[in-house]
Amino acid sequence: MTETTHRKGFIRRFFGAIGGAITWLRRVFTNLLFLLLLLFIFAAIFGKEERLTVPQGAALKLAPTGFLVDERSPPRGLPAFLGGPPGPVETRVKDLVDAIDFAAKDKRISSIVLELDYLMGGGISKLEEVGAALQRFKSADKPVYAVGDNFTQAQYFLASHADEVYLNPMGSVLLTGFGAYRNYFKSALDKLKVNFHVFRVGDYKDFIEPYTRDDMSPASRENNQRWLHELWSEYTEQVTGLRNLPPQAIDIFIEELPQNLRDHNGSWADAALANQLVDHLASRRVAVKALQEKIGVGDDDQTYKAIDALPYLRNQRLTHLAPTPGSRKVALISASGTIVDGEAPAGQIGSVSLGKLIAQAREKEVAALVLRVDSGGGSAFASEAIRQELLATREANIPVVVSMGSVAASGGYWIATGGDQIWATPSTITGSIGVFGAFPTFEESLESIGIYNDGIGTSELAGTMRLDRALPEPAAEVLQLGVENTYDRFLRIVAEARGSTPDEVHKIAQGQVWTGRTAQQLGLVDELGNLNDAIAGAAKLAELEEYELVEIKRELTPGERFMRALSDNIGASVSAEIQSNLPLGAWLSSLQPALEPLAELQSYRDPRAIYARCLPCQAP
């Protein structure tokens, strides 16, 4: 037998070697990039903070991204660059306010520049808190400038605090007024043969309307119209005052917008300038050049001399880490999101997880506790459990002050009654004192595809809370009686806390929503003011002249810290890319409230299926 050996030719071997080398280099390069990414992430998570050098005369660059929040939610799922969905970034209001207040007293900081292109909103109450800090900064004889390619309603509210506002000649100031619109699902649920069982008390408790109607009820329309007009008046009064415009200037601008655009050949920017909403029309390059002349030239000669707000804030906090010797502590806990029973991550309020934080405050023997509530409510059972923890704190001779954020309604107000004092901003949405029960069943949906349920129990109530069985009449009666009992309890709790009677509270309850200003007039709120005002109020209750503020919050898990690092350093650019296309960004943002009622179904986990929730409490 003859053995034949096939050898590759020289050319094939030569190019094969080149291909192998390229493959090897590609793998090495990919692995190096991966290792560098890991090092970057671990440095971001575990690296030691280094103090920055703040340039003399620099501006503080305030460029918030995404939505303003009191408490940031932990990132969930894959970040966008790994194939996950692009999600909005969140910017914490207290971080912005602290950075501005530090800068007001910092002789190295000459001014503030607002770059608001990637701010997506957050509620007028939160905007007012940042705006108040900007006014404090200006009172230190330091100017504020605003630069934007376009200004949405939320962006313009902050921009109106500036001494000079620069708008791109191709840009716009998009003012439309406030609205409360939502999707209604009754006909869709009927077509799907879903039976949504609802138990309620009061004429105005409209959280369940999207599941039981195809339009807004007259009672809901009346209530929503009142608080929307109050908030819009708050917005327009502040903006016209800051811009030195006639009182009705904003409303007139909106009403006459078509004619304004015709008068200026369709140019939104020219119309804004003519109506004194902005001071200069300038491209970004021209605006930067103007700021360079006012502030100074940055290191790269391409921008003005500035330091970003959040790195600056970290630097200042490192500098001011040492507490004053002998100072006592005021604790701050943030509670944001839907109220649910048990444990919950940041972005939701879990009765157990928040209760642990409140207990920690007692263990730290703080002099006072401030609970910041930003919630439209949730589980009635969980709300009461949290209120009991606040009462226990007061019994330990620790004064408790509740500071309401954009929203503190229904279950959020239930929690607030546990405080010694309740503070709200004028534009806080609160009240909505009411209770409902909700329970969907899918027996007809299943029967339509040939799935039936049958069996036997020791009583008519056995197996009644199943999604695949019809709800018997006795069970429905039990749930309705439970709702009525919980509502009566809610009225008694509010009456006791506010020095009133259940009958008097009932007149302003039944799910009615109020602004903070009106709530104070009705006796539901003690004081009007922002978070800093509430903290000062807590210190006064504790008879403190000097104190140290300490934040008590749930620590992120290593996985959450990892995802936060990715989100902060990479996710922001994804959000910016979305927002750079204004119509696309606005459309994507509009999907969130449209689908909110369906998404909220997953939070229905009250042990008795009884809830204190507020549907319109999504601050505009």
Give the CA angle between residues 122, 347, 535 to the nearest 5°: 70
Which of 446, 441, 434, 451 is CA-nearest to residue 475?
441
> Cα dihedral sign for 32, 33, 38, 44?
positive
DSSP 565: H
Give me the active site residues, please.
205, 410
Neighbour tally for 306: CB within 10 Å:
24
Give the CA angle between residues 609, 612, 618 to the nearest 5°: 125
Tokens coding 209:
């309307």
Do the bridges between strand 164-167 and strand 144-148 make them parallel or antiparallel, or are there none, so unpaired? parallel
Do the bridges between strand 109-115 and strand 90-92 make them parallel or antiparallel, or are there none, so unpaired? unpaired
Q: Where are the beta strands (DSSP E) in 202-327?
A: 280-281, 306-308
Tokens coding 77:
């799922």
Cα separation, 211 vs 372, in Å, equals 31
HSE-up (13 A, CA, CB side) for residue 335:
38
Q: Classify each residue of 176-202 as buried b or exposed e, where b means 16 or more C-beta atoms within 10 Å of its C-beta.
A: eebebebebbbeebeeeebebbbbbbb
- The torsion defined by the Cα of 303, 307, 310 and 311, in degrees rounded to 10, comes to 120
Which of 578, 614, 611 is CA-nearest to residue 597?
614
Cα separation, 248 vs 261, in Å, equals 19
Give the CA angle between residues 92, 94, 95 to the nearest 5°: 70
Measured in degrees and rounded to the nearest 5, phi and psi for residue 548 equal -110, 130
